[in-house]
Amino acid sequence: MSSRSRSSRRGRGGGAAGGHDGPDERWMASYMDMVTVLMCLFIVLYAMSTVDQDKFAALKNSLATGFGSVASQNADTAEGIVVPPELIGSEGLLASAELDDKTRETLTALAKSEQDDLLELKERIEGRLEESGHKGAAAFSINQRGLTIRLVSAETFFEPNSATMTANAKQILGAIAPVLAPTDRHFEIEGFADVLTPAAPYPTNWELSASRATRVLRNLVEDGGVKAPRISSVGYGDARPIAGRKNLSLNRRVDVVVLSNQPESVRNLLPGYSG
């Protein structure tokens, strides 16, 4: 075979293997996409840094009309959003909107009234506990969430590694349920466990604390008359202890939280209480 023929075949083979004569520039497509995205990001940031006062005022007025804060015979749906009336009110999804124009003094007065209502509820619960012979079986606190009733006493509320309530616990719940059931408030039952490693049937303290919360919830609903749609439960395991190993029974507890039904702007002004 001649050297010319071998050279010709090598040339054709090399061309087929390489596929092209120039460098691979497919990376430029991804690079250009990244540059475009960065450019859009900086444009958005620049737009956010400069506020057109006239456009801002027009948007504010349009939203005020749409949300019902400004009286209007005809809401301009082209410039604002019309919100259904049922979404506005003391219990609607936009409950805080009706308080946007309230003064600080008005909001403080509403917070004081809410605190008085929660304190009155606390006093009634304390009275029921005293009548049933369980004075001091609960500790109380008030914060932005509402009234927390901490069910702890000298006797164990739950047996170790168990979600079964003691007879003492059932009597305490039987005393407070008649006070809670007639109210129009919502409740959250929070279960807790001590730091000891649980045994079967609970793989971790999360399941144990959730079972304790559910047990109290069922007692309040099935025996205490609390409406099921107004109550929920959650378990926190041993993540929020209030006592060390010296008194583990204090961590085998359940908190009943009476939730405030006020808007956030009022709840944030609730003065703290513990006693």
Write the DSSP assignment of the chain as a string of letters. Answer: --HHHHHHHHHHHHHHHH--SS---THHHHHHHHHHHHHHHHHHHHHHH---HHHHHHHHHHHHHHTTSS--SS--TTTS-PPPGGGSSTTSTTGGGGGTT--HHHHHHHHHHHHHHHHHHHHHHHHHHHHTT-TTSEEEEEETTEEEEEE--SS-SB-TT--PBPHHHHHHHHHHHHHHTTSS--EEEEE---SSPP-TT-SSHHHHHHHHHHHHHHIIIIIT---GGGEEEEE-TTSS-SS-GGGGGGGS-EEEEEE--S-HHHHTTPPPEE-
Could you tell me the two tokens for 242? 């209030």
- Its pTM stands at 0.60
Closest CA to 118 of 143, 91, 138, 147: 147
Q: Report pLDDT for 224.
A: 93
Per residue in 36-60, is it b (16+ CB within 10 Å) or e — as a string?
Answer: eeeeeeeeeeeeeeeeeeeeeeeee
Q: Report pLDDT for 64.
A: 60
- Residue carrying the six token digits 């025996």: 223
pLDDT at 254 over 70: yes
- Chain center to CA of 112: 24
Per the model's pLDDT, the better-predicted residue between 98 and 151 turns out to be 151
Per the model's pLDDT, the better-predicted residue between 205 and 70 turns out to be 205
- Residue carrying the six token digits 């979404």: 87
Question: Judging by beta carbons within 10 Å of its beta carbon (0-12, 13-18, 19+), is residue 15 exposed, middle or buried?
Answer: exposed
- Digit-coded pLDDT (tens) for 76-87: 444 444 444 443
- Of 101-105, 131-135, 206-210, 263-267, the range with the lowest mean pLDDT is 101-105
- Digit-coded pLDDT (tens) for 117-135: 999 999 999 999 999 898 8
- Residue carrying the six token digits 């959003």: 81
Q: Where are the domains of the chain?
A: 29-83, 104-274
Cβ count near 177 (within 10 Å): 19
pLDDT band at 211 (very low <50, low <70, confident <90, very high): very high
pLDDT at 227 over 90: yes
Q: Report pLDDT for 96.
A: 46
Average pLDDT over all residues of the chain: 76
pLDDT at 72 over 50: no
Could you tell me the two tokens for 219? 């007692």
Compute the average pLDDT of residues 99-125: 83
Instruction: Measure the N-to-C terminal CA separation of the chain; round to a whole number of Å.
Output: 106
Compute the average pLDDT of residues 207-228: 93
- Digit-coded pLDDT (tens) for 16-52: 444 556 677 777 778 888 888 888 888 877 776 665 6
Per the model's pLDDT, the better-predicted residue between 18 and 94 turns out to be 18
pLDDT band at 60 (very low <50, low <70, confident <90, very high): low
CATH 3.30.1330.60 for domain 104-274: yes
